Amino acid sequence: MKNITVPLQAQKRIALVAHDNMKAGLYDWVRYNIGTLREHILFATGTTGAILERELGLEITSLESGPLGGDQQIGAMISRKELDFLIFFWDPLEQLPHDPDVRALLRMVNVWNIPMACNRSSADFMISSPLMGRVYPRQVPDYSAYRSRRIATTSVAGSDDK
């Protein structure tokens, strides 16, 4: 499959997500990196966004809580090219009722080649990269052939469509 270039602008659109047991760690990370994060456009799932906005005074667009659809909202934003970067401190030791939503989000990150950090170390390396503050020529698979493929159809009993 060929790739196309979809540039990530110098001002990144970053989503911040943390499972309950990881919220304190994400809070500490955001506080530590607040100067850099203020240069970007921030989104967060419900509870995480409320905590970061209230405690740190950051301007954040809050979405639904993860279990109420926030993870899926972020995935949709990725597929619409409205999000450039994901910081997702997820809890590897806790099984959550919305695990299928988390898996779907992680799938969108990979389908659209979005940078993602899932722990403090990877987040530190990514946010301190010289690429963070400039335009980056992100390579995304060219899905045009997939979108235009022919799909075999079968007639449905009682259908008037021919």
The catalytic residues are 71
> d(Cα 83, Cα 14) in Å, to the nearest integer?
6
Six token digits for residue 17: 């997500």
Question: Tokens 């990979």 belong to which residue?
Answer: 110
Q: Is the separation of the CB atoms in 8 and 136 below 8 Å?
A: yes
Q: Is the separation of the CB atoms in 71 and 17 below 8 Å?
A: yes
